[in-house]
Structure 1
Amino acid sequence: MVNETIKNEVFAQLGIPPTDTKLLGGYNGNVFEVGRNVKFVVKILERSVNPVNSQISELEWLAYLHSHGVSVVRPLRVKGNEYIQQINNETYFVAYEKINGSPVKPNDMKIWGTAFFERWGEMVGKMHSVSKSYSPNNEHLQWFQNTVLLNIESIPLNPQLIQMWNTYKKEFYKLPISIENFGLIHGDLHYGNLLITGNEITVIDFGDCEQHWFAYDVAIVIYHIALTVSKQEREKFVKSFFSSFVNGYVRENSDTSFFSNIDFFINYRQLYSFTYHSLYADKNLITEQQLLHLKDMEASIVNERPFLDFSVL
């Protein structure tokens, strides 16, 4: 959680009283809505976790996507002409427009269905299509520069999981790379990072964007969508979802040859998710149910059980 001194310094720089702010969330409680008449969103970041150059790269890509018709949250320059606003030597903040949209809820049958799944696929397809034409001013993180992957040997994990990480890393180096299958991805495209305004889907939280395979972006969508139903319902639901998703995706990006790698990346996502939560979850706030879920995930991974016992294709 962001301490009160840092929060108050940010609000003071913006000339906004704390009474006109609201915590929105973020993995570390670092995202706030600020303002009274004109509201926008502020994210407070630590340099050690989010290097400034990487953050600038993320914001420039967001601006590019927005300018090319992809419905994403737009970064703002709230003071001067810079995206990055310094707080002290360790922390800084960035700002985004406030989207007056509604969060996606899997139990909301007015939204959760074929039409929404197709629009979701269309949005991801357009993002990948636009990514192919993007020439960044600043270098973006490559998949092998991911913080989790860089620190894997020092994370207190089951040795079998460490070995699996090393195996995946070797497999990644064997995968083909081309403009059609590899580029900048969102990196965390679960439904919690979507907002709905009318019929439009807006994507938020690009904090995990990196150079990776497009198949991983799609696999993340499927992994998290599968968690919304019981294991007994997964095959029928996931295959129905994927059919609708692909119908939308190909409207914007017709090359789906990389889809053959989706099953591989779904299993990788489970390993990544378990490792990430083991590393970053606040042990003082984790619930008994969440702890049991993590133990179940670990057992499944160690025993090499695929996350889905069927292929999505």
Structure 2
Amino acid sequence: MIDEKLLSLGASRYGMQKSDLKLVGGFSDNVFECDNGRDSFILKFYLSSTYEKSAIELELDWILYLHQSGMKVTAPIASSHGNLLEVVEMSNKEQCWIIAFEKAKGKFVNVSDKRDWNTNTFYLWGKTLGKIHSLSKQFEPKTYKRSWNSESLFLEENDVSEEIKCKWNKYINELEKLPKDENSYGMIHHDLHHKNFYLYEQDIILFDFGDFVYHWFVYDIAIVLYHALQTVSDDNVREREDFAIVFLRSFLNGYTRENRLDPQWLLKIPFLLTFRQIYSYMYFSKYLSEEQRNNGKTREILNNMKAKIESDISFIDLQIDRIVEDYSC
């Protein structure tokens, strides 16, 4: 939680008052909407105890590159001092880095409304991700490359069961064996689920790039499918399988309009869906606060994930060969 004094200091750097701020989200409750009746934008606070300055600078470079290349993203906004990245020195010697972005136009996808949640949206979604991957091939970071296994989740000991640690390490070892080239590996979004973009005038507006990383492009596709499938109950096995086929066909039809991926990579999607489930469980186990973990619904979700991972239950029985055949044509 960001303290009141820091909120006031941060708001003042952008010509706002603390009373103009409203918490809108972020994993660490660090994302605020600023609105004083004249101007409206998004403000993000990053504490140095949790975030690295170089990663935030890389995020800004990446977003500016995408924006200048024609992607529909919310562009960074300079502070009153003309800075895209503001630094606040705190009393405990910690620093806080603050960045601002345009407020996205449009609205969230309503997964319960077929006017939103349909094959046209899935197509646009795929087209958007395909363009990100295509542009990724020309992107040269000014600072460093944030590799897929460089975050603390991969480097530090994690408080999970030995069974899950074993499976986690097994999947990491398999990933490390995968080949890398400019057509299969590069900067990916890493979290393009339906709560990280708006629909606006038959287009998709992106507004959250904080999880970007260098990874295999096909993993980005698997991540999208993983979260899209969470809109269908686990109890409806047949419905989930049918939805996965419909979703991927439309999504990949859009994706191929912007980027071409060797069809053989798609065969890795079932493997990567399970990896994403393990990754998500590891991430939540490490970073959720005690209060968040004690929430009844959250605890139930984590227990279900744990049971499935330990029992080797596939995230979904996906007939990926059917998709690869269509994609190859």
Band the TM-score falls in, shorter-chain normalisation: over 0.9
1:117-154: CA deviation from partner (whole Å, max 9, x where unpaired): 10000000011001011112111310110221122xx2
For 1:82, the equivalent position in structure 2 comes to 83
For 2:281, the equivalent position in structure 1 comes to 274
For 2:326, the equivalent position in structure 1 comes to none
For 1:177, the equivalent position in structure 2 comes to 180
Q: CA-atom RMSD, angstroms?
A: 1.4
1:228-257: CA deviation from partner (whole Å, max 9, x where unpaired): 012322001111111110110100012343
Q: TM-score, normalised by structure 1?
A: 0.95
Q: Is the 8 A contact 2:277 2:315 kept in 1?
A: yes
Partner of 1:43, secondary structure, is: strand
Q: Is the 8 A contact 2:244 2:318 kept in 1?
A: no
Q: Is the 8 A contact 2:198 2:205 kept in 1?
A: yes
For 2:65, the equivalent position in structure 1 comes to 64
Q: Is the 8 A contact 2:148 2:215 kept in 1?
A: yes
Q: Which amino acid aligns with 2:34?
A: V
Distance in 2, matches of 1:6 and 1:144, equals 32
Q: Is the 8 A contact 1:79 1:85 kept in 2?
A: no
Q: Note the C-alpha offset of 1:177.
A: 0.3
Greater CA drift, 199-208 or 78-87: 78-87
Partner of 2:218, secondary structure, is: helix
Distance in 2, matches of 1:301 and 1:73, equals 37
Distance in 2, matches of 1:309 and 1:47, equals 42
Q: Is the 8 A contact 2:13 2:81 kept in 1?
A: no
Q: Tell me, which stretches of 5 or more residues in structure 1 are unaligned?
A: none
1:245-301: CA deviation from partner (whole Å, max 9, x where unpaired): 011010001234322222111110000111111111222144212211110100100
Distance in 2, matches of 1:6 and 1:195, equals 29
Partner of 1:251, secondary structure, is: coil
Distance in 2, matches of 1:80 and 1:197, equals 31
Partner of 2:149, secondary structure, is: helix
For 2:327, the equivalent position in structure 1 comes to none
- Asked whether 1:114 is paired with 2:122, we answer no
- Asked whether 1:194 is paired with 2:197, we answer yes
Q: Is the 8 A contact 2:60 2:76 kept in 1?
A: yes
For 2:40, the equivalent position in structure 1 comes to 39
- Asked whether 1:292 is paired with 2:300, we answer yes
Q: Is the 8 A contact 1:250 1:256 kept in 2?
A: no
Off by >6 Å, runs of 4+ in structure 1: none
Q: TM-score, normalised by structure 2?
A: 0.91
Q: Which amino acid aligns with 1:266?
A: L
For 2:170, the equivalent position in structure 1 comes to 167
Pick from 144, 150, 158 the counterpart of residue 149 of structure 2: 144
Distance in 2, matches of 1:185 and 1:81, equals 29
Q: Note the C-alpha offset of 1:81.
A: 4.3
- Asked whether 1:235 is paired with 2:235, we answer no
Greater CA drift, 14-23 or 204-213: 14-23
How many percent identity over aligned positions?
33
Partner of 2:146, secondary structure, is: coil
Partner of 2:100, secondary structure, is: strand
Pick from 91, 106, 109 the counterpart of residue 104 of structure 1: 109
Q: Note the C-alpha offset of 1:12.
A: 2.6
Q: Tell me, which stretches of 5 or more residues in structure 2 are unaligned?
A: 324-329
For 2:98, the equivalent position in structure 1 comes to 93
Q: Is the 8 A contact 1:103 1:194 kept in 2?
A: yes
